[in-house]
Homo-oligomer: A and B are copies of this chain.
Amino acid sequence: MALANNHISVDCVIIGFDGEQLNVLLIERVCEEKGEWTHDMKLPGSLIYQDEDLDEAAARVLQELTGLKNVNMVQFKAFGSKDRTKNPKDVHWLERAMELKVDRIVTIAYLSMVKIDRKLNSHLADYKASWVPLKQIRTLAFDHNLIIKEALMYIRQYVEFNPAALFELLPRKFTALQLRVLFELIYEKELDVRNFHKKIAMMEYVVALEERQQGVSHRAARYYRFDKKIYNKLRH
């Protein structure tokens, strides 16, 4: 029985929220099969170097493939099914793109939740990286659909212990509606508007601003912001 002399990769599940939907950051993959060129999508991820920690590798790979820097990622699961690199399309792509004959790749999956804003998006196109709404995601490379599914399960548990993580998804100023939609998406159930306002009122670290929406064709909503200092104080 051969000891595995395996390759190790990291894959990054970057989740963003556009005010209406959860999105995942995917990059384009160009495949050649029997002379035909096709495109599909994958998570940003690649093999790690010999001399870097897993966390370092994740940060490097994300930057190389999407241009994003300083994204706080958390490792959430390793995927090492022996079948995960068996799809001929994937094998083919690995051989061409990585110049690599590979038996199996164990991948360590990382997760981050970020604000989708102009600064972040400014260079994504250069990398053929784009935000894809969760519900519109088709079949991805390798087992990346599975990885995303598990990332979402992980998020649900994660935010219970780190409510602050939710606010990473929102712009600095956000409305009660945005926050509520976010909760509803993550917990997959609808919330009562009035109870939700009370809930916000009880979260001292969500502070109401005087500022309101402008130019909307209905009563303007109040803005809120997340106060990290208050949050941290309450945690201790």
Q: Which of B1, B52, B161 contacts A82 (CB 8 A)?
A: B52
A83 CB → nearest B CB, Å: 8
5 examples of A-B residue contacts, CB within 8 angstroms = A4-B7, A4-B51, A4-B52, A5-B7, A50-B103
Is the C-beta of A187 less than 8 angstroms from some C-beta in chain B? no
A81 closest partner in B (C-beta): B53
Stretch at the interface among A72-80, A120-128, A171-179: A72-80
A18 to chain B, nearest CB (A): 29
Give chain B residues whose Cβ lies under 8 Å from the Cβ of A7.
3-6
Residue with the highest number of chain B CB atoms closer than 10 Å, among A75, A81, A82, A108: A82
| Residues of chain B lying within 8 A (CB to CB) of residue A48 | 3-4, 6, 80
* Copy total for this chain: 2
Query: Of A4, A5, A51, A81, which is in contact with the most chain B CB atoms at under 10 Å from its CB?
Result: A4
Q: Is the Cβ of B80 less than 8 Å from the Cβ of A77?
A: no
What's the tally of chain A residues with a CB closer than 8 Å to chain B? Answer: 31
Whether, in the assembled complex, A146 has its beta carbon less than 8 Å from a beta carbon of chain B, the answer is no
- Contact across chains for B108 and A51 when beta carbons are under 8 A apart: no
Render A51-71 as a binary contact track against B, CB cut-off 8 A, 1 for contact.
111100100000000000000
Say whether, besides A3-B47, A47-B4, A49-B2, A54 and B81 are in contact (CB < 8 Å).
yes
A6-B7, A75-B77 given as contacts; is B53 within 8 A of A82 (CB)?
A: yes
Contacts of A49 in B (CB 8 A): 1-4
Q: Return the chain B residue nearest A5 by Cβ.
A: B5
Is A106 in contact with chain B by the CB < 8 A criterion? Answer: yes
A161 → chain B closest CB, angstroms? 7
